[in-house]
Amino acid sequence: MNFAGDITVVAPRDAVFKALSDAPFFASCIEGVRNLEAIDATHFRAILETRVAYLRFKFKAEVELTQLSPPELIEAKVEGTPFGIVGRLTAITMTRLSETGGQTTIHYSVDATITGKLGSMGQPVLKAKAKDMEKHFTERLVAAFAIGGRGTAH
Amino acid sequence: MTPFDLVEPASLKEAIALIDPDDPDVRPIAGGTALMLMMKAGVFRPTRLVSLRRLRNGLSQITSTMDGELKIGAMTPLTAIEHSSEVKRAAPVIARTMRRLANVRVRNAATIGGALAHADPHMDLPPVLIALGASVSIAGISSERSMTVEDLLTGYYETALAKNELITGLRIPAQGNSQAVYFKVTAGSVDDWPALGLAAAIVGEGDTVRSVRLVVSAATSKPVRLTAAEAALNGRIANEVNVKKVADIAAEEADIIADIRGSACYKRELLRVFTARAVRAAMEPRGAPH
């Protein structure tokens, strides 16, 4: 599964880079993330829970920031182990930032693979859900910068 | 599996009252063939299941009118629909579709209402029912309403039903001169879930298409009508040039999802091929085998 898109926020690139590389802020923009725990400066652990209709998908996620090149590039690797179902979610996310006239555009791409029983049952469902999550993430991110400075997205 | 309450109300009113609209972990259960799979997979952990088993007597009749309108109770098992003489007469495509729908054990247990409420886009009956212009009757806590099957299915496992509403029946309008076909295309074994489902219902007059409904499923997040392809075929002669053009339009307009049954590109090609086959089959003289 591949997702890609652009999000534009009214903020300088340095500030956007700082915000996106701050795990608690980043996590606050994603619906369903809780129990975020920093293992070290580049490794994090969290629980991701999402619902599709009456179904609930819950993952134990481990995130590694594999490349941080301020103020332009953030690359991360996500590995998710679902609760109660055999499978694994692996994703590589690439985020590039460009600035034009006081606005920063976030170019993101996600390459995700779901294996096991989770893949056969959950991949199309989670792909449909990912579109909602993308929209939600964009709204929270844009709102967080719109209210001035970085703030915390809720 | 975690423990849960199982309640068996004796009336529709009681069943609706037992479904908590604010708790997604409370679900009605009819045949249970789909819900049990979700529970075994661990993606659904109910706190309470409201069994509709005791509502069978009042909600499992199949009736038809003289002109061919069909009414089927929501708790009717798929097997009963498959073997119903009324269904074979009024909408033979349904009986033909049943032969490759899951297996006999599933068809014995699964109900038509449960199958529609489950809203898995891989299911065979929803595209057929949309092509036939079917609608469902729905009961809520204090009101009843009806809705087309097309409007009922809103997304992957999602319907337009409120959480405390139940499907009580299915109505399939008289088909008149319409001829319908369904193609189930599996990429793995013959009894696998489909990579593509395609239903077509066409009223033809000689070689000319007077009205057409084309519905794609399984390759999309819900069964959807191919309205651009329908518009391109309506009123036209179904010759090879026009059929090929319609198949190309169908392949372009559908929002295809890739999964383990095939890439989006592969499924798009399947859609192109099977749209043409479905149109040709639905335009064949009556009685021709499909």
Q: What are phi and psi of B244, to 5 degrees?
A: -65, -40
Sorting pLDDT into bands at 50, 70 and 90, what band is A147? Answer: low
pLDDT, tens digit (0-9, with 9 covering 90-100), for A86-104:
788 888 999 999 999 889 9
For residue A82, the chain B residues in CB contact (below 8 A) are 42
Helix (H) or strand (E) holding B114: helix B112-118
Burial label, A142 (beta-carbon count in 10 A; 0-12, 13-18, 19+): middle
Residue A153 has pLDDT above 70, yes or no: no
A69's tokens: 């090149």
> What percentage of chain A reaches a pLDDT higher than 70?
92
CA distance A80 to A62: 6
Q: What is the pLDDT along chain B (290 residues), one digit of tens a residue?
A: 689 999 999 999 999 999 988 888 999 999 999 999 888 888 889 999 999 999 999 999 999 999 999 999 999 999 999 999 999 999 999 999 999 999 999 999 999 999 999 999 999 999 999 999 999 999 999 899 999 999 999 988 999 999 899 999 999 999 999 999 999 999 988 888 899 999 999 999 999 999 999 999 999 989 999 999 999 999 999 999 999 999 999 999 999 988 888 899 999 999 999 999 999 999 997 655 45
So what's the pLDDT on residue B192? 84
CB B30 within 8 A of CB B74: yes
Rounded to a whole number of angstroms, the distance from the CA of A117 to the nearest CA of chain B is 8
H or E segment at A138?
helix A116-146
| Helix (H), strand (E) at residue B141 | none
Taking residue B249's Cβ as centre, other Cβ atoms within 10 Å add up to 21
Could you tell me if B75 and B111 are in contact, meaning their C-beta atoms sit under 8 angstroms apart? yes
| A154: confidence class by pLDDT, cuts 50, 70, 90 | very low
Chain A residues touching residue B27 (CB < 8 angstroms): 54
Peptide bond before residue A24 is cis, with ω within 30 degrees of 0: no
Choose the mutation target among A1, A3, A52, A54 for the interface with B, i.e. most B CBs under 10 Å: A54
